Copies of this chain bind each other. A is one copy, B any other.
Amino acid sequence: MNAASRALERSHVAPNNIGRVKIPGPHLVATYKAGREIYGQGDTVTKYYQVKTGTVRVYRLLEEGRRQIVSFHFAGEVFGVEAGSTHRFFAAAITETTLAVFRQHTVKEHSRELLGFALDGMARAQEHLLVVGRQCAVERMAAFLLDLSHRLGRLRQLRLPMSRQDIADYLGLTIETVSRVMTKLKERSIIALQDTRAIDIMKPGALRSLCQ
Protein backbone atom coordinates (compact mmCIF):
# COMPACT_ATOMS: atom_id res chain seq x y z
CA MET A 1 0.00 0.00 0.00
CA ASN A 2 1.66 3.21 -1.15
CA ALA A 3 -0.47 5.14 1.29
CA ALA A 4 1.74 3.85 4.06
CA SER A 5 4.69 5.77 2.72
CA ARG A 6 3.11 9.16 3.24
CA ALA A 7 4.25 11.37 6.01
CA LEU A 8 2.20 10.48 9.07
CA GLU A 9 2.86 13.22 11.49
CA ARG A 10 1.16 12.88 14.82
CA SER A 11 -1.96 14.96 14.54
CA HIS A 12 -2.82 16.74 17.71
CA VAL A 13 -6.37 17.89 17.59
CA ALA A 14 -6.28 21.57 16.82
CA PRO A 15 -6.15 22.78 20.39
CA ASN A 16 -6.65 26.46 19.78
CA ASN A 17 -9.38 26.96 17.25
CA ILE A 18 -11.99 26.97 19.97
CA GLY A 19 -9.55 27.38 22.82
CA ARG A 20 -10.41 30.48 24.77
CA VAL A 21 -13.11 31.63 22.38
CA LYS A 22 -15.80 33.68 23.98
CA ILE A 23 -19.13 32.18 23.02
CA PRO A 24 -21.72 34.86 22.32
CA GLY A 25 -25.13 34.79 23.94
CA PRO A 26 -26.49 34.85 27.46
CA HIS A 27 -25.18 32.37 29.98
CA LEU A 28 -25.00 31.61 33.66
CA VAL A 29 -21.84 30.95 35.57
CA ALA A 30 -21.92 27.98 37.92
CA THR A 31 -19.36 26.68 40.37
CA TYR A 32 -18.87 23.03 41.27
CA LYS A 33 -16.86 21.66 44.17
CA ALA A 34 -14.35 18.89 43.48
CA GLY A 35 -16.14 15.63 42.76
CA ARG A 36 -19.57 17.18 42.12
CA GLU A 37 -21.62 15.73 39.31
CA ILE A 38 -22.54 18.17 36.54
CA TYR A 39 -24.91 15.88 34.69
CA GLY A 40 -25.65 12.18 34.70
CA GLN A 41 -26.22 9.51 32.11
CA GLY A 42 -29.89 9.60 31.16
CA ASP A 43 -30.40 13.24 32.08
CA THR A 44 -32.12 15.40 29.49
CA VAL A 45 -29.80 17.59 27.46
CA THR A 46 -30.77 21.21 27.94
CA LYS A 47 -27.45 22.99 28.22
CA TYR A 48 -23.86 22.88 27.16
CA TYR A 49 -20.87 24.11 29.07
CA GLN A 50 -17.59 25.92 28.70
CA VAL A 51 -14.97 25.49 31.39
CA LYS A 52 -13.81 28.81 32.82
CA THR A 53 -11.52 27.39 35.50
CA GLY A 54 -10.91 23.87 36.76
CA THR A 55 -11.14 20.46 35.13
CA VAL A 56 -14.03 18.20 34.15
CA ARG A 57 -14.19 14.50 33.36
CA VAL A 58 -16.78 12.88 31.13
CA TYR A 59 -17.18 9.16 31.73
CA ARG A 60 -19.31 6.07 31.76
CA LEU A 61 -19.70 3.55 34.55
CA LEU A 62 -19.75 -0.09 33.51
CA GLU A 63 -20.60 -3.13 35.57
CA GLU A 64 -18.05 -4.62 38.01
CA GLY A 65 -16.84 -1.16 38.93
CA ARG A 66 -15.21 -0.57 35.58
CA ARG A 67 -15.15 3.01 34.42
CA GLN A 68 -14.04 4.61 31.17
CA ILE A 69 -13.23 8.28 31.10
CA VAL A 70 -14.03 9.52 27.63
CA SER A 71 -12.54 12.98 27.93
CA PHE A 72 -11.07 15.60 30.20
CA HIS A 73 -11.94 19.26 29.72
CA PHE A 74 -9.79 22.22 30.70
CA ALA A 75 -10.25 25.98 30.73
CA GLY A 76 -11.75 27.22 27.48
CA GLU A 77 -13.01 23.85 26.34
CA VAL A 78 -16.63 23.00 25.64
CA PHE A 79 -18.51 19.84 26.61
CA GLY A 80 -22.05 18.56 26.99
CA VAL A 81 -23.02 18.78 23.31
CA GLU A 82 -24.59 15.46 22.35
CA ALA A 83 -26.33 13.68 19.53
CA GLY A 84 -29.56 12.77 21.25
CA SER A 85 -31.86 14.37 23.77
CA THR A 86 -30.40 12.56 26.79
CA HIS A 87 -26.84 12.47 28.05
CA ARG A 88 -24.99 9.26 27.29
CA PHE A 89 -22.29 9.92 29.89
CA PHE A 90 -21.67 11.39 33.30
CA ALA A 91 -19.81 14.64 33.75
CA ALA A 92 -18.19 15.69 37.01
CA ALA A 93 -15.84 18.37 38.28
CA ILE A 94 -12.40 16.99 39.15
CA THR A 95 -11.13 20.07 40.95
CA GLU A 96 -13.24 23.04 41.98
CA THR A 97 -14.60 24.23 38.66
CA THR A 98 -16.49 27.19 37.27
CA LEU A 99 -18.50 26.80 34.11
CA ALA A 100 -20.24 29.08 31.69
CA VAL A 101 -23.60 27.43 31.10
CA PHE A 102 -25.42 27.96 27.78
CA ARG A 103 -28.99 27.00 27.07
CA GLN A 104 -29.39 24.67 24.14
CA HIS A 105 -32.99 25.77 23.38
CA THR A 106 -32.76 25.74 19.64
CA VAL A 107 -29.94 23.56 18.47
CA LYS A 108 -30.77 24.65 14.97
CA GLU A 109 -29.98 28.31 15.35
CA HIS A 110 -26.75 27.51 17.13
CA SER A 111 -25.74 24.83 14.67
CA ARG A 112 -22.87 26.80 13.25
CA GLU A 113 -21.00 27.19 16.50
CA LEU A 114 -22.05 23.80 17.80
CA LEU A 115 -20.69 22.18 14.66
CA GLY A 116 -17.19 23.25 15.61
CA PHE A 117 -17.52 21.73 19.05
CA ALA A 118 -18.96 18.52 17.69
CA LEU A 119 -16.22 18.12 15.09
CA ASP A 120 -13.63 18.84 17.71
CA GLY A 121 -15.16 16.31 20.07
CA MET A 122 -15.23 13.72 17.31
CA ALA A 123 -11.59 14.31 16.46
CA ARG A 124 -10.61 14.06 20.12
CA ALA A 125 -12.48 10.80 20.60
CA GLN A 126 -10.90 9.36 17.47
CA GLU A 127 -7.36 10.25 18.50
CA HIS A 128 -8.08 8.84 21.93
CA LEU A 129 -9.33 5.65 20.35
CA LEU A 130 -6.10 5.29 18.44
CA VAL A 131 -4.05 5.50 21.60
CA VAL A 132 -6.19 3.07 23.54
CA GLY A 133 -6.62 0.67 20.64
CA ARG A 134 -3.10 0.28 19.37
CA GLN A 135 -0.54 1.57 21.83
CA CYS A 136 1.20 -0.06 24.78
CA ALA A 137 1.19 1.36 28.30
CA VAL A 138 4.26 3.59 27.93
CA GLU A 139 3.04 4.95 24.61
CA ARG A 140 -0.34 5.76 26.13
CA MET A 141 1.18 7.67 29.02
CA ALA A 142 3.50 9.54 26.68
CA ALA A 143 0.63 10.52 24.42
CA PHE A 144 -1.40 11.57 27.44
CA LEU A 145 1.32 13.76 28.93
CA LEU A 146 2.04 15.42 25.60
CA ASP A 147 -1.62 16.10 24.93
CA LEU A 148 -1.99 17.54 28.41
CA SER A 149 1.03 19.80 28.08
CA HIS A 150 -0.30 21.09 24.75
CA ARG A 151 -3.75 21.80 26.07
CA LEU A 152 -2.57 23.40 29.27
CA GLY A 153 -0.46 25.84 27.30
CA ARG A 154 2.59 24.01 25.98
CA LEU A 155 4.20 24.03 29.39
CA ARG A 156 7.19 22.03 30.52
CA GLN A 157 5.81 21.95 34.04
CA LEU A 158 2.45 20.33 34.51
CA ARG A 159 0.21 20.22 37.50
CA LEU A 160 -2.05 17.22 37.06
CA PRO A 161 -5.57 18.01 38.18
CA MET A 162 -6.59 14.35 38.10
CA SER A 163 -5.70 11.29 40.18
CA ARG A 164 -3.83 8.20 39.04
CA GLN A 165 -7.18 6.42 38.97
CA ASP A 166 -8.58 9.03 36.58
CA ILE A 167 -5.55 8.65 34.33
CA ALA A 168 -5.87 4.87 34.40
CA ASP A 169 -9.56 5.00 33.51
CA TYR A 170 -8.82 7.44 30.72
CA LEU A 171 -6.06 5.32 29.20
CA GLY A 172 -7.70 1.92 29.69
CA LEU A 173 -5.06 0.78 32.18
CA THR A 174 -4.94 0.04 35.91
CA ILE A 175 -3.72 2.46 38.51
CA GLU A 176 -0.73 0.18 39.21
CA THR A 177 0.39 0.22 35.60
CA VAL A 178 0.11 4.01 35.46
CA SER A 179 2.24 4.19 38.57
CA ARG A 180 4.85 1.80 37.20
CA VAL A 181 5.08 3.68 33.90
CA MET A 182 5.51 6.96 35.77
CA THR A 183 8.37 5.43 37.73
CA LYS A 184 9.97 4.13 34.56
CA LEU A 185 9.77 7.53 32.86
CA LYS A 186 11.24 9.09 35.97
CA GLU A 187 14.09 6.56 36.04
CA ARG A 188 14.88 7.39 32.44
CA SER A 189 14.84 11.11 33.38
CA ILE A 190 12.21 11.78 30.74
CA ILE A 191 10.06 13.35 33.42
CA ALA A 192 10.69 14.53 36.95
CA LEU A 193 8.17 14.55 39.77
CA GLN A 194 8.11 17.31 42.39
CA ASP A 195 5.24 15.51 44.00
CA THR A 196 2.75 13.04 42.53
CA ARG A 197 0.78 15.77 40.79
CA ALA A 198 3.57 18.10 39.70
CA ILE A 199 5.33 16.80 36.63
CA ASP A 200 8.29 18.26 34.85
CA ILE A 201 8.80 17.17 31.26
CA MET A 202 12.59 16.98 31.00
CA LYS A 203 12.85 15.42 27.53
CA PRO A 204 9.85 16.34 25.40
CA GLY A 205 11.62 14.84 22.39
CA ALA A 206 11.94 11.48 24.09
CA LEU A 207 8.25 11.60 24.99
CA ARG A 208 7.32 12.39 21.42
CA SER A 209 9.39 9.55 20.00
CA LEU A 210 7.83 7.21 22.54
CA CYS A 211 4.25 7.81 21.62
CA GLN A 212 4.51 7.39 17.89
Contact = CB atoms under 8 A, between A and B. Distances in A.
Interface size class of A (residues with CB under 8 A): 35 or more
Contact of A126 (B89, B116, B172): B89
Given A37-B3, A115-B118, A83 B8 contact: no
A122 B107 CA distance: 16
Contacts of A108: 112
Contacts of A28: none
A153 interface: no
B84 A14 contact: yes
Contacts of A81: 119
Given A68-B130, A70-B130, A134-B172, A83 B14 contact: yes
Contact of A123 (B83, B90, B114, B123): B83
18 contacts: A3-B41, A7-B42, A14-B83, A17-B83, A66-B134, A68-B130, A70-B130, A81-B119, A82-B123, A83-B120, A83-B122, A88-B127, A89-B126, A118-B118, A118-B121, A118-B122, A122-B122, A132-B172
